[in-house]
Every structure is written in structure tokens, then in C-alpha cells.
Amino acid sequence: MAAAATSVVVLDRGNNTTCTINLHGATVVSWRVNNQEQLFVSKLASFDGKKAIRGGIPFVFPQFGPWSFGPQHGFARITRWHLDRAPERLHNGDVEAIFSLMDNEFTRSIWNYQFRITYRLILREKELHFHIGVYNPSKDLSFTFNMLLHTYLKVPDVRRCQITGLHGCHFIDKTREGAMYQEGREVVTVNEWTDRIYQHTPQEHVITNVVSGRKMRLHKYNFPDTVIWNPWIDRSREMSDFGDDEFPNMLCVEAGNVSSPVILLPGTAYEASQILQIIIEGNVSRKTKRNR
Ligand code: TA6
């Protein structure tokens, strides 16, 4: 119990803006901006260093969903990661830290491949950046994997949230036996058990009515899919590490490689990234900023 429970790394940018990572799964367990928590963590979440942490941003790899060889959502979220570079203040005031996970006896007992993942987190004033590199050091063996950031956003009332950027996308609906549908709504809302894998989604989603009624922009790169999840009433009761009354206060918007696994050839690497940005009304979108 002791080792895992105490292994947290804190990025502190000052101004009550911090990001806390638990080495168990390199799970981001808190992102506070001016003292306001942006992420949901269940009050029943387990920090025993064994079970996945129910909330924050668990790191899903190398499998999304049920797995015949190993645990649901893979082993990365239940394995202890290494802190490669302790939190460091950059010249522009941002704070950066780098974590890594390599194959070990446990991972090879489930998935017999060599790999190395680097996970660089950068805490900015109103943004959190995630840069991921997956490397295949093998001389002759390729491997395939899924990868996903299982982001639990904290929301005052999920029924008031709207998600953009899904219109026209095809999705696998896990609440309807995995049947495939096409999204007809301009903005997606959540008013029931929702568990959908949207495929080939655009690089940007805006989620409205997150903490303090603000909007959150999720910008992703090399993560072609977006999973939207809320367990609602019945599924909440099935989870021992999730309160029956907590579903209105969380919304999972998860950027990932789910529908088409990545094939990584020997000696090659794969990079992906995500940016979570709190939108202060009037601040310009990432695209416009770049076009300036
Ligand atoms: O990402 C959505 C999902 O795959 C749902 O199907 C639900 O199972 C959720 O993940 C939580 O999974 P977990 O293994 O953390 O209980």
C-alpha cells in the first residue's frame, strides 16, 4: 500500500495552478486552475496501487476495452511508471515533467513485446499539454496497440454539457450491442447511459458547461477517435469504486486510437498529443492563433 499511495508528482505553476500525477498508471489525478479542480475523481476511487484509479486521466495502453490476454483497458494504467524528469519551470513560466514506462516482467507476462513510452506533461496558465511517444526498440518484431487518454472531466451537471465536433461521425454504440450509427446532431448531449466510440473525429472538440460554466477545448493530434462515456444510474451501481450519485458530475471525453490499432514496426516510434484548454470567453482558438 505505502509505495504506490505516496508516489505523486506535482507540477506547480503558482497562482493555485497545479497538476498532480500518481505514478500508478501515470494517472493525472488533479488539474487545478486558479484553485478550481477541472478533473473528476470518484470519492470511492482506489489508491491501493493495484486497481486503476477511478477518475482523472488514466492512460489506456496497449488495449482498449475487454482483453483476452490481460486486464480491461490494458496494463499501463495499473503499472508503476518512472519519473524521468522531475517538474521543471520553463523560461515562459510553464512547468514540465516527463514520465516513462518500459516493458518489464509483468508486462511481458501479458504482452510479450519490448516497448518504451514517454509521457511529457506541460502545465500552462489555462492549458494542460500531453505529448506521448511510443517506441518499438525491437530489431525484428512489430507490435500493434490501442492508446487512449481516458479523461474524466468534472462538470456541475452533465445534462447541461454539449460536445462539438462529432456531427456526421460514425460511432459504435456500446449501449446498443456495439451497433454502428452516424451522429446527426450538431452538438452531442448526454441524458442517459452513454458509451460511444466515435471514429475518425476532427482534431478539436469544445465541451460546454464544464467547471464554473466554462468551455473546455480538447485539441488532439494523431488520436483519430473520441470515446464519450457516462455510466448513468444502473452502470454506476455496478462499479464499487464509483458513487451511485456521482454520474451527474462527470463526463468522459477520451481521445484515442481505438477503432484502428497502430502497427509499430521495429525501430520506429509513434507520437500523439492532446491539449486541454480552458476557454476564457474572447480567447481565440488554437487554429486562429496559429494563422496569425
Ligand atoms: O471508455 C469507456 C469505457 O470503455 C466504458 O465502456 C466503461 O467500461 C469505462 O470505459 C470504464 O472502464 P473501467 O475498466 O475503468 O471500469
Residue 146 has pLDDT above 50, yes or no: yes
CA angle centred on 28, ends 258 and 242, rounded to 5°: 80
DSSP conformational letter for 284 = P
Grid cell of 24 as nine digits? 500508478
Q: What DSSP letter does each residue of 150-219 carry, written as one string?
A: --EEE-S-GGG--B-S-TT-EEEETTTTTEEEE---SSB---S-EEEEE-S--SEEEE-S-GGG-EEEEE
Asked whether residue 54 is marked as a ligand-binding residue, the answer is yes
Dist. CA 236 → ligand 1 center (Å): 11
pLDDT in tens, 114-134: 999 999 999 999 999 999 999
Dist. CA 66 → ligand 1 center (Å): 9
Q: Which CATH architecture has domain 8-156+230-279?
A: Distorted Sandwich (2.70)
Asked whether residue 72 is marked as a ligand-binding residue, the answer is yes
> Is 174 touching ligand 1 by the criterion CB < 6 Å?
yes
pLDDT in tens, 265-290: 999 999 999 999 999 776 545 544 55
Kindly report the number of other CB atoms within 10 A of residue 264's CB atom.
21
Q: Across-strand partners of 207?
A: 163, 216
Dist. CA 75 → ligand 1 center (Å): 14
First-to-last C-alpha distance (Å) of the chain:
51
Residue 174 has pLDDT above 70, yes or no: yes
Looking at the CA of residue 54, tell me the nearest atom of ligand 1: 15
C-alpha distances out from residue 247 to 52, 57, 151, 197, 238, Å? 18, 16, 14, 19, 12
Q: What is the pTM of this model?
A: 0.95
Looking at the CA of residue 148, tell me the nearest atom of ligand 1: 1
246 a catalytic residue: no
254 a catalytic residue: yes
Specify the range with the lowest mean pLDDT, choosing from 109-113, 130-134, 235-239, 279-283. Answer: 279-283
* pLDDT of the residue at 3: 46
Residue 102 has pLDDT above 70, yes or no: yes
Which residue in the list 24, 73, 96, 150 is annotated as catalytic?
150
How far apart CA 256 and CA 272 sit, in angstroms, is: 9
Q: What is the best residue among 150, 193, 228, 232 to mutate for testing ligand 1's pocket, by most ligand atoms within 8 Å of CB? A: 150
pLDDT band at 17, cuts 50/70/90? Answer: very high
